[in-house]
Structure 1
Amino acid sequence: MRSHLLNNTTAEHYRNTVSAGVERVAATLAATERPFSGIDVDELSPLVDAIDLDRPLGDAAAALDELGEVYLRDAVYFHHPRYLGHLNCPVVIPAVLGEAVLSAINSSLDTWDQSAGATLIERRLIDWTAERIGLGPAADGIFTSGGTQSNFQALLLAREEAKVRPEDFTRLRIFTSECSHFSVQKSAKLLGLGPDAVVSVPVDRDKRMRTVALAHALESCVAEGAVPMAVVVTAGTTDFGSIDPLPEIAALCEQFATWMHVDAAYGCGLLASRERRGLLEGIENADSVTVDYHKSFFQPVSSSAVLVRDRATLRHATYHAEYLNPRRMAEERIPNQVDKSLQTTRRFDALKLWMTLRVMGADGIGELFDEVCDLAAEGWQLLAADPRFDVVVEPRISTLVFRYIPAGAASPDEIDRANLHARKALFASGEAIVAGTKVGDRQYLKLTLLNPETTVHDIAAVLDLISGHAESYLGDSLDRAS
């Protein structure tokens, strides 16, 4: 069994095994004609359940053959131009190269004596991102597993900076738009705040937080004797890609001495854009910022970070263990990343972004993100001109929310069911994948455009497929009624 350990004596075995895996994946990608096979859970589950994990196959070739049956054949392929579902991007090759390197070396980014150069690379990328945001010379941050963890850590810091005793946590309030990410509510619960801690602020017709409503909510909070702990500003909402008015909200946060957190998990790609960087004007005033490189920097999952304006606030995540990072190490200026992180063992995910920047540069990333934003603008024009569809809001970045509206008479509930059916039928066909959401209490569909290979022709074809499935459902519904 030692022959399977990666070390100096098994380097050739490693090379051959990984090369075979790369060849298999490359062949699969080259042959992929649709984003999904259309298989359902009842068909795939028995194949996986039938595998006896206590009886190994003995070699990697056999395991790859089996993997083709239980995973590769039926995987959802984000690189396909008609994958238009969630915030999943196709990945760039330099980042995949970085993934291969970091997996093999297997550095752990908690302490210097487990990572050395990896620690310095991660720190340099944090500094680079903070410079792009404009947070100032005292900024710092840490890589995380994703936007949910980044938002949670930011709100943990905000809670501690509010300087409220634990018995008074029920007085703390977090303000965020009604279109913000669910992780805000989840974080409040995990942080031990009261059920009314998150105040939902109304949005305008463009799905941006209404600053007048925020001002009233902050005033009411103070008047009631509660404490405005934080305002979570969204720069790229999950459904609409909307960007809250950053400068105006920053002014209110300063007025009410409230922590300003910007959730730019989606919109962070604008940091690399030469055309649209202005959409993030005001982000430099934030106390903390979430960025998800695995959304709009075209990085493999996971690759995220939380940045802070004042590195001193990261002390709220610091605990010292004698076996790992004793206090004397900080006094000796040994750079242990665990001092800033909620995690202990942590992958060297920063290497993927490092390799991307060293091969493509920030402008290369920005150009790709600008392409999908341009595509969304074209998609908006297509939808706005098509009487079959009701489109909600003109995109700021790269999402389109819409719903099919039949030409004939149909009740709102029937239209909801037709749109739900169209999404499900499209997924089952494997020809394309779109997402779904609700606007008000009505069912809508969503195109999340993060693939520069997607074209307007692809969007038009998917819209025709949606229309066909919805019409088929409504026709069958009429037949059943008669």
Structure 2
Amino acid sequence: MLSKIHKLETVAKELDPCVEKRQIWAKQVIKHSEEFMETLNTDKSKAFNKTEHNGNQLLYSLIKEEPTPMENLLELFRHNVERNGLVESHGGHMAYVNSGGLYPSSLADYLSDVVNPYSAMFHDSPGSVRIENMVLKWIAACFGYPDSFAGNLTSGGSASTVLALAAARDSRNIKARDFNKCVVYTTTLSHYCAEKALNTIGMREVVRRTIAVDSNYKMDVDILRETVKKDIEAGLIPFVVYTTAGTTDLGSVDPLETIAGISREFNIWMHVDACYGGFFILSEEATHLFKGIEKSDSFCVDPHKSLFIPYGCGAVLVKEGSKLAYSNALNRPAFYLEDSFKDECQDEPSPCNLSFELSRHFRGLRVWMPLKLFGIRPFRSALGEKILLARYFYDRLSETDGFQLGPYPELSVVVFRFIKCPCDTETFNKELLEQLMKDGRIALASTRINGVYYLRICILCFRTHLKEMDLLIKLISVNVKKMLKAISVKPWEQQEQYVRG
């Protein structure tokens, strides 16, 4: 047996490379990442790369018994991942709600992965738990939550919403027999993670009311009030009002102050989805929009959106922290954790007691390090800049003949479409989007407002500046003119041009 152990140990030690090999690999990776970041600032750089292979080169590089050199792996990564599809860290990426990926966060993740602290429990890693709790306390202060709150850094908005709605369920002592009587109030602009979260926590049977939005695309509070009254009269249980501070489609913010009053009046849990828009509260251009969020029962906000942190970091905060703790409490002791639990610190709650996660990534460092390195001021400026860039784009396009725009941007989302075309408007705008994505320097998306097809931009990357907005305006103008010219050419003229070509 000893002979076999020694033999296995010799091979197993390859997993713990020497300092020389570590340094070689580190230099190769850093050189590669620096080249990538430098190309983001070039004029030929693209926010969207469409390839025919769609990353299938990876399929021909199977995981085998023998090792593969680092340089080969980096080349596979370059061609199949970073140069294929959307480039999230590119200043021209305005599709969906992106994550810019602050560089200090990558350094924080490197440290987190090398040291690999067990950040779930205070006993095992008090420093990492303190950092996560410091980040959560800072977030709570930004949104006006009291010291009695409890929170958790999650993988993102979906996990955060599961925790918030589970806490709402348990705080009301709602049992399975009551699920079909409970009512959740959303709007047509609410994020679909709410639907998924209800299913995940076993409440698929709840009654789901879609409250209409007003002319500003915010939850209509008068309709909400009347709907709640009718549900009570019908013997139903008004359960959760799911509000949004920054809708994905339009960036609109629901009237939080008024909804908070209705929620208190009828004893309904008020949750705020601030995943995209939440940290705009730091900018003077948007602070007033969030009045009333401090009166909510819970809210979710994603550092990996409006705080520019890389993907994989959301946050949920519950005003009465004991409710989040109760919802995630152990019903029986875990005997192998007896030593860890006996050293619990009252002032530093362990993340594992406030979430369904046990083993988890140390997410706090990727938020804490950039905030400490940069200070808050550049974050405030960047967020204010994004709002003003959205309004700049809106104003410029509204001055251009033929465009119809959605509501004036409260945050950093703008929707628009070209309507003066001699063909089907939706078809024309779909083609316009396709042409812009073929160019690839700016990436956009589409959405539907009241069933109508619009092009949509969300300005959120910290690398997006005035240069990118002017380029987008130019690309839109050039492509619209080109498309209109192509439509105006008669079929025989197209054939004649083809023959001459």
Counterpart Cα distance in 1 of 2:160 and 2:257 = 22
Q: Secondary structure at the match of 2:310?
A: coil
Q: Secondary structure at the match of 1:199?
A: strand
The residue that corresponds to 2:393 in the other structure is 379
The residue that corresponds to 1:360 in the other structure is 374
1:339 to 341, 346, 353: 353
Contact 2:100/2:463 (8 A) holds in 1? no
Q: Secondary structure at the match of 1:13?
A: helix
Contact 1:111/1:324 (8 A) holds in 2? no
The residue that corresponds to 1:10 in the other structure is 18
> Do residues 148 (structure 1) and 162 (structure 2) align?
no
The residue that corresponds to 1:30 in the other structure is 38
Contact 1:206/1:394 (8 A) holds in 2? no
Counterpart Cα distance in 1 of 2:491 and 2:232 = 56
Change in 2 beyond 3 A, CA 1:299/1:146: same
Report the Cα offset of residue 333 of structure 1. 4.1
The alignment of Structure 1 onto Structure 2 pairs a total of residues equal to 475
- Long gaps (5+) in structure 1: none
Contact 1:423/1:466 (8 A) holds in 2? no
Change in 2 beyond 3 A, CA 1:472/1:324: farther
User: % of aligned pairs identical?
Assistant: 24
Change in 2 beyond 3 A, CA 1:210/1:43: same
Change in 2 beyond 3 A, CA 1:158/1:392: same
The residue that corresponds to 1:329 in the other structure is 341
* Amino acid in the other structure paired with 2:235: G
Report the Cα offset of residue 167 of structure 1. 1.3
TM-score when scaled to structure 1?
0.91
Counterpart Cα distance in 2 of 1:83 and 1:333 = 43
The residue that corresponds to 2:96 in the other structure is 86
Contact 2:387/2:412 (8 A) holds in 1? yes
Counterpart Cα distance in 2 of 1:385 and 1:51 = 52
1:76 to 75, 86, 92: 86
Change in 2 beyond 3 A, CA 1:400/1:156: same
* Amino acid in the other structure paired with 1:317: N
Change in 2 beyond 3 A, CA 1:333/1:456: closer
Report the Cα offset of residue 417 of structure 1. 1.6
The residue that corresponds to 1:267 in the other structure is 277
2:327 to 316, 322, 327: 316
Counterpart Cα distance in 2 of 1:409 and 1:71 = 40
TM-score when scaled to structure 2?
0.88
Counterpart Cα distance in 2 of 1:121 and 1:349 = 9
Structure of higher CA gyration radius: 2
Counterpart Cα distance in 1 of 2:65 and 2:488 = 54
1:258 to 245, 250, 268: 268
The residue that corresponds to 2:450 in the other structure is 440
CA deviation map 1:311-345 (0-9, x unaligned): 11011122255145459926854743211112121
Q: Secondary structure at the match of 2:376?
A: helix
The residue that corresponds to 2:499 in the other structure is none
Change in 2 beyond 3 A, CA 1:116/1:16: farther
Q: Secondary structure at the match of 2:173?
A: coil
Question: More deviation in 66-75 or 102-111?
Answer: 66-75
Alignment of 1:76-155 (within 5 A): 76-155=86-165
The residue that corresponds to 1:349 in the other structure is 363
1:20 to 25, 28, 33: 28
- Long gaps (5+) in structure 2: 1-10, 493-501
2:220 to 178, 201, 210: 210
The residue that corresponds to 1:431 in the other structure is 441
Contact 2:47/2:91 (8 A) holds in 1? no
CA deviation map 1:183-242 (0-9, x unaligned): 111222223334562211111222111111111111111111111111111111111111
CA deviation map 1:140-177 (0-9, x unaligned): 10110101111121111111222222112111111122
Contact 2:48/2:442 (8 A) holds in 1? no
The residue that corresponds to 2:58 in the other structure is 48
Contact 1:3/1:10 (8 A) holds in 2? no
Counterpart Cα distance in 1 of 2:48 and 2:272 = 38
